[in-house]
Amino acid sequence: MKNLVLMIVLVLSIALGCGNKTEKGSAENLSEPQDYALVQTNKNEDVKFPVYDFEEFEPLLHKDDGKTYIINFWATWCKPCIVELPYFERINAEQKDNNVEVLLVSLDMPNMWKSRLEPFVEKKGMKSKVVILDDPKQNEWIPKVSEEWGGGIPATLIYNKEKRNFYEKGFTYEELNQELDKFLN
């Protein structure tokens, strides 16, 4: 009888173990509590991009060095974000000499950093600076980025010394250029 129970426990744990593996393998499934331990160790591995909580990130929203900053909030799972990324890349390349800098802020979750974010940035050959904002207290920090922000992405903040605008929307290349022009003149 005891043996039978042991068997069942054994079989069950094997079955569960397999289940977990498939879960971790699939990019869309995440944040099971048991995944979190894994996520934490991931964090200490050298992810290619800086990982900030909001407190560490906030100074990047308030630089006072004469540059115009385009801060784009995105994630690899956000389709409209992916669609507009090439426009930000193009602007970054074209406007470099105009004292403009694009910063791409990834909101990907920790278990996507290695599996999705890094390969994505590499594959697309992205040149703009990428940082990861990893702070679950979203209700606290979203309004600090902009009171206007409901939490949807794509979202973009453009600012310099004189001016600051927030956009909870996707951009075309032309629209982005138009908005940027308002900051450069």
Partner 1 sequence: MFGLFVLVLSLGAFTVSSNLDVDGYGIGDVATDFSLKNIDGNMVSLSDFKEAKGYLVIFTCNTCPYSVAYEDRINALDAKYKPQGIPVIAINPNNPAAKPGDSFEKMKARAAEKNFSFPYLFDKGQTIYPQYGATRTPHVFLLEKTDRGNMVKYIGAIDDNYRDASQVEEKFVENAVDALLAGKEIKTKTTKAIGCGIR
Distance in angstroms (rounded) separating the CA atoms of residues 112 and 7: 36
∠ CA 58-63-68, rounded to 5°: 120
Closer residue to partner 1 in complex, CB, 50/152? 152
Segment near partner 1 (CB under 8 A); pick from 9-17, 51-59, 94-102, 162-170? 162-170
Distance in angstroms (rounded) separating the CA atoms of residues 157 and 46: 28
Q: According to the binding rule CB under 8 A, does residue 25 interact with partner 1? A: no
DSSP 121: H
Binding-site size for partner 1 (CB under 8 A) equals: 35
Q: State in angstroms the smallest separation of the CB of 64 from partner 1.
A: 27
Closer residue to partner 1 in complex, CB, 95/115? 115
Hey, which residues between 89 and 148 contact partner 1 (CB under 8 A)? 107, 109-110, 112, 136-140, 142-143, 148
Q: State in angstroms the smallest separation of the CB of 3 from partner 1.
A: 31
Closer residue to partner 1 in complex, CB, 2/137? 137
Q: According to the binding rule CB under 8 A, does residue 34 interact with partner 1? A: no
Q: How many CB atoms lie within 10 A of CB 51?
A: 16
Q: Judge whether 158 and 183 are in contact, CB under 8 Å.
A: yes
Q: Which residues pair with 159 in a beta bridge?
A: 69, 164
Q: State in angstroms the smallest separation of the CB of 166 from partner 1.
A: 9
Lookup: tokens for 100: 């403009």
Q: Judge whether 108 and 118 are in contact, CB under 8 Å.
A: no
DSSP H/E element including 43: helix 33-44
Q: State in angstroms the smallest separation of the CB of 79 from partner 1.
A: 7
Q: Which residues bind partner 1 (CB under 8 A)?
A: 28-33, 36, 39, 77-80, 107, 109-110, 112, 136-140, 142-143, 148-155, 167-170
